[in-house]
Structure 1
Amino acid sequence: MTTDTLPVLSLAAPTGNLAEDLGRSFQRFGFALVADHGLDPALVARGWELTATFFAQGEAAKRRWHVPGGGGQRGYTPFGTEIAKGAAVHDLKEFWHVGRELAPGDPLAATMPANVWPDAPADFRETFTALYAAFDRIGAGILSHIAVWLGLAHDWFDPAIADGNSILRLLHYPPIPGDTGGAIRAGAHEDINLITLLLGAEEAGLELLTREGRWIPASPPPGALVVNIGDMLQRLTNHVLPSTTHRVLNPDGARAAHSRYSMPFFLHLRSDFSIRTLTGCVSAQNPDRYPVPITADDYLHERLREIGLKV
């Protein structure tokens, strides 16, 4: 793969070796475009409707569901809170986080806050619980192909992500108010987690930075997912699979007056998983960058502090 064009890969009807095709795209770009993923279009449409309805509420109504000191892990995070690591200005976005629903007394509950559910709009909890489960299933399937590409058993990731601290984010980028002081909708950053599955990137603005230092658009066909490698998987694979820098630019012209919505699912390891470099990703040419392991929960909180969501 020598061009700067990301291929669109079908999960339902692959034209070749899907594990190899996904692996090559992730190794080259840190990203892949995935179609035929199996998300129910009616469920997705309801999710978009509820997302727009929630964010259309006034600031006071939305802030009822903000959890001070919660690190933005559940519920509402107000506009202008998050900042890319090393950036001077905050992102032009607000968001809502849905996490995993754990059974009472689950030993992982201490590392995963309970969900916050608004009293309006109706069906919010039911809709996003269902979408969370669907993303969880699709993400596990993609990880099984990554495992095969890495030379591991296809189910290697299953225990690593069982009851993982994954998050479904409902993202709203409001209309651009004019002079932003250099702020953009999402500053250049990498994701924290294993992989991210992003729905709603058909609206222009998402760009990724190639290894050659060029910014290129990540523009999937309607309804397809953008999938990218996160820092946890980069660390686990000793950078064999790169966590690629990406950003969301402000729109030009008439599009600046419109909101932009997207729905990323950040697929995480379980909190007590020890991130230890895979031996198959270490060689004389690629020595182990991370000889000291770290738990997924410790790594998460280290990164949350870096992006301004936790002190």
Structure 2
Amino acid sequence: MSDTPLSEIPTLSLADEAGDPAGFAAALGGSFERFGFAVIADHGIPDDLIARGWADTAAFFALPEDEKRRYFTPEGGGQRGYTPFRTEIAKGASVVDLKEFWHVGRDLPAGHPLADRMPPNIWPERPERFRDTFLQLYAAFDRAGDRILSAIARHLRLAPDWFDPAVENGNSILRLLHYPPIPADAEGVRAGAHEDINLITLLLGAEEAGLELLDRDGRWLPVKPPEGALVVNVGDMLQRLTNHVLPSTSHRVVNPAPERRGVSRYSMPFFLHPNPDFLIETLPGCISAARPNRYETPITSHDYLHERLVEIGLVKK
């Protein structure tokens, strides 16, 4: 793929994957190799469900602070329920992010062997349909993510279903993000420069300005998807698995222009994780004389996640 300006990143259609899986995989992989990001329309997440999600997200974050904090469990590392404003910090940053968020995880049946590493969900009393809305959205993101992973597998010359057992009980998290209005003299930014921990992230809500990625030449470039499209980026686990064939790109959410400072910004990332016991071991096809293995020692996704949660301040040492 040529080094075109970021604004010219093609918007791919996931609908093309069914009719031309090889072509879609090549286009997706090319976008990831060039930018670490892709923009995907026709992703199959229903518009009416997304609209419900935005409405329920706004309704929850509009609740009184003391009510929201009832669902905050610091000992859980923010993996479920509410995390208050100014809690998370980007790795290496000196000031915390200007955001609050809610996490929905995978619902496991009672007695499931992974229950000790994947805590149960926490649900607020209101808005009333919150639980139903976000369980449906979680499942819809999961389905879209499976299709995207299948295309990634094709691009890496793996079987199209290679990722299926790796993510069957993946510790994926749906994050509901609220960036409140901020004063002109606010310390810090809405989200400091960082890379994601997981395999891939599927993001809704990037139409509101603010998301930027760090391009190869050191410039911060805005990501501007069409209305309703997903922004998908490579996470550190996939970067490690592919020996940096697919790069995990630094990105941030900058503070708004003066005319938008009084407006809340909402977004909805789905952090797609493998099973906690999945071993992140460099794929043989991504190792060569020109690209020696950077990661001789494998690590489970659970241990890798814990290391990173400590780094961003959600888990204390």
TM (norm. structure 2) is 0.96
The residue that corresponds to 1:2 in the other structure is 3
Instruction: Name the CA distance, whole Å, in 2 between partners of 1:177 and 1:198.
Output: 26
Aligned to 1:113: 119
Aligned to 1:26: 32
Q: Deviations over 1:155-186 (max 9, x none)?
A: 000000011000000000000123112x0000
CA RMSD of superposed structures (Å): 1.0
Number of equivalenced pairs = 310
Q: Please state how far the C-alpha of 1:213 moved relative to its aligned partner.
A: 1.4
Structure 1 residue 209: deviation in Å?
Answer: 0.6
Q: 114, 130, 136: which is aligned to 1:130?
A: 136
Structure 1 equivalent of residue 102 of structure 2: 96
Q: CA deviation at 1:190?
A: 0.2
**Unpaired segments ≥5 residues, structure 2:** none
8 A Cα contact 2:16 2:24, kept in partner: no
Where does 1:7-86 land on structure 2 (aligned, <5 Å)?
7-13=10-16, 17-86=23-92
1:34 aligns to what SS in structure 2?
A: strand
Distance across 1 between alignment mates of 2:254 and 2:191: 7
Aligned counterpart, 2:209: 204
Q: Percent identity?
A: 68
* Contact 2:184–2:258, Cα closer than 8 Å, also in 1: no
Q: Which residue type is aligned with residue 312 of structure 2?
A: I
Residue identity opposite 2:171 in structure 1? N
Deviation at 1:270, TM superposition (A): 0.2
Question: 1:107 aligns to what SS in structure 2?
Answer: coil
SS at match of 2:48: helix
**Which AA in structure 2 matches 1:262?**
S
Residue in 2 that maps onto 1:302: 307
**Displacement after TM superposition at 1:68 (Å):** 2.1
> Where does 1:220-235 land on structure 2 (aligned, <5 Å)?
220-235=225-240
The alignment partner of 2:115 has SS state of: helix
TM-aligned CA deviation for residue 39 of structure 1: 0.8
Quote the Cα distance in structure 2 between the aligned partners of 1:293 and 1:148: 23
Within 5 A, what are the aligned runs for 1:114-263? 114-181=120-187, 183-263=188-268
Misfit runs of 4+, over 4 Å: none
TM-score, normalisation: structure 1: 0.98
Match of 1:284 in 2: 289
Deviation at 1:210, TM superposition (A): 1.1
